[in-house]
């Protein structure tokens, strides 16, 4: 499911199966609602298992599971539908048994509008999903309790329930800022006044702080890198970039040096002019960047910040204003 069109293909496949199942069954359901792979079906109770078996004959590789109503209640997505004794239907918010009512804590280091959005979403969901006023009132009380357990102040509940969405402003451009409490809010107001829409991003996520469950990729096998190859007989280095892994690029350099092909490698030119050799085993990755344009900028910055490079050019052309800054910057600080 890694391809961008996977969701479209999956939806088309399910749509084909359901259309074929509905048109080929002798007593089709009275109601068939589907969202992605979840369906809500109203069908004669004598036909439930028959239609379920028929549905699973359409495709040999796709099997549908079934959940029947319990105590006249059944869930569809986040809505619980209950049939009352008078045959009317009432709705409520459905929560899985594993639900912990844990949301973004109000004391967390996040922009205030993101915290407000949590409360707004819960209250708006109760308003749109529940028609019965008594059930809706009970759910709002439950939301207030849950928000209180997540650190939200009491006065915020009332303000959130009565907040209306303002008209969308027209912005000329868009940018992302790392969120720093007390600073990013002021920058956002200034940029908004200048017609720039601002989104806040966290400095660090839990995923970045926790150890990765997978084994780390061997450096030589990483792709999209800026690398450095040192000379064995002097302090000169070669800095380059490649979209492939480092081993593949080093093999090309070695072949060029062995064949004395100056056109394909600046390292070969250094070998011919100085009769030096390179420490291939000491080649290292200076920066990993999958984006080609950004990788060229990093390469150029690293070349310009190092006075002992044997590159024929400076890589991607940078504005002259950066040259003095880069010359006084340690290469180890580039990209941090």
- Quote the tokens at residue 116: 């407000």
pLDDT at residue 322, rounded to an integer: 63
pLDDT at residue 165, rounded to an integer: 46
Below-70 pLDDT ranges, the chain:
1-2, 156-168, 316-336
The percent of residues above 70 in pLDDT, for the chain, comes to: 89
pLDDT at residue 166, rounded to an integer: 43
pLDDT at residue 225, rounded to an integer: 93
Q: Which CATH number fits domain 219-333: 1.20.140, 3.40.1440, 3.30.70, 1.10.10?
A: 3.40.1440
φ/ψ of residue 304, rounded to 5: -75, -20
Classified as helix, coil or strand, 292 is helix
121 vs 131: CA distance, rounded Å: 17
Exposure string of 257-291, with b = 16+ CB inside 10 Å and e = fewer, is: beeeebeebbbbbbbeeeeeebeeeebeebbbbee
- Alpha-helical runs (H) found in 83-132: 112-129
Read off the pLDDT of residues 136-166 as tens digits, 9 standing for 90 and up. Answer: 999 999 999 999 999 988 876 555 555 444 4
Q: What is the pTM of this model?
A: 0.59
pLDDT at residue 146, rounded to an integer: 92
Neighbouring C-alpha atoms within 13 Å toward the C-beta of 221: 4
Read off the pLDDT of residues 192-246 as tens digits, 9 standing for 90 and up. Answer: 888 899 888 888 777 778 777 777 777 778 899 999 999 999 999 999 999 999 9
Q: Which residues pair with 309 in a beta bridge?
A: 237
* Residue among 25, 70, 62 nearest 44 (CA): 25
pLDDT at residue 71, rounded to an integer: 86
């Amino acid at each position: 499911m890694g391809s961008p069109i996977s969701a479209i293909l999956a939806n088309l496949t399910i749509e084909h199966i359901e259309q074929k199942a509905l048109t080929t069954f002798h007593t089709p359901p009275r109601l068939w609602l589907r969202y992605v792979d979840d369906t809500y079906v109203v069908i004669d109770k004598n036909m439930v298992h028959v239609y379920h078996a028929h549905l699973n004959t359409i495709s040999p590789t796709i099997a549908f599971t079934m959940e029947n109503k319990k105590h006249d209640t059944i869930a569809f997505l986040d809505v619980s539908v209950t049939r009352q004794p008078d045959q009317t239907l009432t709705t409520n918010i459905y929560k899985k048994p594993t639900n912990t009512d844990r949301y973004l804590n109000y004391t967390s280091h996040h922009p205030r509008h993101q915290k407000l959005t949590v409360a707004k979403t819960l209250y708006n969901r109760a308003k749109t999903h529940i028609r019965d006023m008594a059930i809706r009132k009970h759910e709002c009380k439950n939301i207030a309790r849950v928000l209180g357990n997540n650190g939200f102040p009491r006065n915020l509940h009332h303000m959130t329930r009565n907040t209306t969405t303002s008209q969308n402003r027209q912005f000329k451009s868009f940018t992302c800022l790392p969120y720093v409490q007390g600073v990013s809010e002021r920058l956002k107001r200034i940029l908004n006044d200048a017609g720039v829409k601002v989104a806040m991003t966290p400095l660090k996520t839990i995923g970045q702080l926790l150890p990765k469950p997978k084994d780390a990729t061997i450096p030589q096998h990483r792709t999209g890198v800026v690398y450095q190859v040192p000379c064995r007989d002097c302090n000169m280095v070669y800095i380059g970039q490649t979209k492939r892994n480092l081993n593949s690029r080093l093999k090309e350099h070695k072949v060029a040096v062995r064949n004395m092909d100056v056109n394909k490698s600046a390292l070969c030119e250094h070998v011919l002019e100085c009769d030096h050799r390179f420490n291939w085993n000491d080649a290292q990755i200076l920066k990993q960047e999958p984006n080609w344009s950004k990788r060229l900028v990093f390469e150029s910055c690293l070349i310009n910040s190092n006075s002992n490079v044997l590159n024929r050019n400076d890589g991607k052309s940078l504005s002259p204003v950066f040259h003095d800054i880069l010359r006084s910057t340690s290469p180890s600080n580039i990209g941090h």
